[in-house]
Structure 1
Amino acid sequence: MTQRNALVVSAHSADFVWRAGGAIALYAERGWHIHVLCLSFGERGESAKLWKQPGMILGQVKAARRSEAEQAAEILGATISFMDCGDYPLRVSDERLLDITAQYRRLQPEFVLTHSFQDPYNFDHPLANRLAMEARVIAQAHGHLPGEQVLAAPPVYLFEPHQPEQCEWKPQLFLDISSVWDKKYRAFQTMQAQEHLWEYYTRTGLQRGAQAARNSGRKIKYAEAYQCVYPRVTDDFL
């Protein structure tokens, strides 16, 4: 049986947990290989709790955030890698862009999850989106490293930003994650540096679950919402 793969491009070390942890756990349980690529550790803008500790230094913050993310990925059933491209600001060279492209070529993902196109509260997030999208296009080009297997056209789904109304993000797909919610919440609990978000994203899961139930007639308690970048291609409306 051929291994099926998916790629999650996360700006910071915790983003994939809050926004796509259910999808990761769900597909991992189905036998998929889900790889999370973290562009940074979230060491400056998303680690306030750690920085408030006396004597804290950058290396310790990075190590703590990396450990949290690795534990979360293990709980969810994903593999994870880090690029350490900085945080507040996140900056990526063309060389790093091609490193992301290489991940696409290596994995040949059947779908991709990443950030929204806009986020006026965190400019690292739309940059991660741009990198994920641009690397996908480069990986499809026959002229990029001829002889390698080119990428097909994996659909890209944008996970929910923290304040969707301000990000011009619209839910177009609800994913029922009720069966894996316990795993997602356990992954939450590894993120000690951002404990204040546990309740927020629990409420988000319940809200999206209620909306998913309303739009399907199914009994759904927890859901994640996604915006579709490209038209969905199918031979069945159902």
Structure 2
Amino acid sequence: MPDTQSVLVISAHSADFVWRAGGAIALSAQRGASVHVLCLSFGERGESQGLWAKEGMTLQGVKDARRAEATEAAGLLGASIDFLDLGDYPLRVDEAAQDRIVGVMRERLPDVLLTHVANDPYNRDHNLAHETTLLTRMVAQAHGHDPGATPLGAAQVLQFEPHQPEVCGFVPELLLDITPVFELKSKAMQCMGGGQGHLVDYYTQLGTRRGVQARRNGAPKGVTQAEAFQRTFPTVGDQLW
């Protein structure tokens, strides 16, 4: 059983975790947590526009480039990473992949799972990543599943902010101050520039806007960058504040 806090990120495509949760990953790692990223796909078909624009590019060439980019980005953020290579547009998660994810959950016993929102009408791969997270979490908790392994506890599932939050029904419940690690997130985003360089400015600006909102909700004046998350399950406490 892990003796440190553990975070598991389930990312539909190989860049999603960087744009949407890079700050949370870096912050957790700096505070001593073990952070692992599972990329269900490389995003090789639908999310690698810049790479496909290069003359002579092949599917395997895009996969190789995306693997290299994401591995470098994860390293900068302080996370380990693995790739399931399940394909994208559409993503398909079979029983073997589900079993593998359950195994990772049982091995790492995360306190927190980070993944996509439940309903993204623009990208159904994200929906499947969310559903896969909940399904494998449920199986990993079952005492009768592989009784020799330690079952997963009540890990919270935090949904990170989608590209079109209003259309996805995303309601921020946590504005996480990532100001101390934003330089790391910025460097990690630059790693993904080969395939989706146009998103670097977008997510930098989004972090700034969320930082403003954090200050309006009581954060110190020094908070300039934040990431937004929505909880899937209730939090538990013994007081109101």
For 2:64, the equivalent position in structure 1 comes to 63
Post-superposition offset of 1:237 = 3.7
Mapped to 1, the partners of 2:177 and 2:239 lie a distance apart of 20
Mapped to 1, the partners of 2:232 and 2:82 lie a distance apart of 24
Post-superposition offset of 1:183 = 0.3
Q: Does 1:229 align with 2:224?
A: no
Question: 1:23-74 deviations in whole A, cap 9, x for unaligned?
Answer: 0000100011100000000101000111111111000000000000000000
Mapped to 1, the partners of 2:82 and 2:139 lie a distance apart of 21
Mapped to 2, the partners of 1:221 and 1:236 lie a distance apart of 29
Q: Secondary structure at the residue paired with 1:144?
A: coil
Q: Secondary structure at the residue paired with 1:224?
A: strand
Q: Does 1:202 align with 2:226?
A: no
Mapped to 2, the partners of 1:232 and 1:129 lie a distance apart of 19
Q: Secondary structure at the residue paired with 2:159?
A: strand
Unaligned runs of 5+ in 1: none
Post-superposition offset of 1:138 = 0.4
For 1:48, the equivalent position in structure 2 comes to 49
Q: Secondary structure at the residue paired with 1:127?
A: helix
Mapped to 1, the partners of 2:155 and 2:92 lie a distance apart of 25
Question: 1:74-121 deviations in whole A, cap 9, x for unaligned?
Answer: 000000000000011110111211111111100000011000001111
Mapped to 2, the partners of 1:80 and 1:234 lie a distance apart of 33
Mapped to 2, the partners of 1:236 and 1:109 lie a distance apart of 25
For 2:116, the equivalent position in structure 1 comes to 115
Question: 1:192-214 deviations in whole A, cap 9, x for unaligned?
Answer: 21110011001110011110110
Residue type of the alignment partner of 2:199: L
Aligned equivalent of 2:215, options 213, 216, 228: 213
Mapped to 1, the partners of 2:185 and 2:227 lie a distance apart of 11
Mapped to 1, the partners of 2:205 and 2:116 lie a distance apart of 20
Residue type of the alignment partner of 2:87: G
Residue type of the alignment partner of 2:204: T
Residue type of the alignment partner of 2:99: L
Mapped to 2, the partners of 1:14 and 1:47 lie a distance apart of 10
Q: Secondary structure at the residue paired with 1:103?
A: helix
Q: What are the within-5 Å matches in structure 2 for residues 16-165 of structure 1? A: 16-165=17-166
The two structures have a TM-score, normalised by structure 1, of: 0.98
Q: Provide runs of 4+ in structure 1 moved above 6 Å.
A: none
Mapped to 2, the partners of 1:108 and 1:234 lie a distance apart of 22
For 1:188, the equivalent position in structure 2 comes to 189
Mapped to 1, the partners of 2:181 and 2:71 lie a distance apart of 18
Mapped to 2, the partners of 1:79 and 1:237 lie a distance apart of 36
Mapped to 2, the partners of 1:92 and 1:157 lie a distance apart of 21
Question: 1:158-181 deviations in whole A, cap 9, x for unaligned?
Answer: 000000011111111110000000
Length, aligned pairs only: 238
Change beyond 3 A, Cα 1:137–1:194: same
Post-superposition offset of 1:217 = 4.4
Unaligned runs of 5+ in 2: none
Post-superposition offset of 1:146 = 1.2
Q: Secondary structure at the residue paired with 1:169?
A: coil
Of all paired residues, the percent bearing the same amino acid is 53
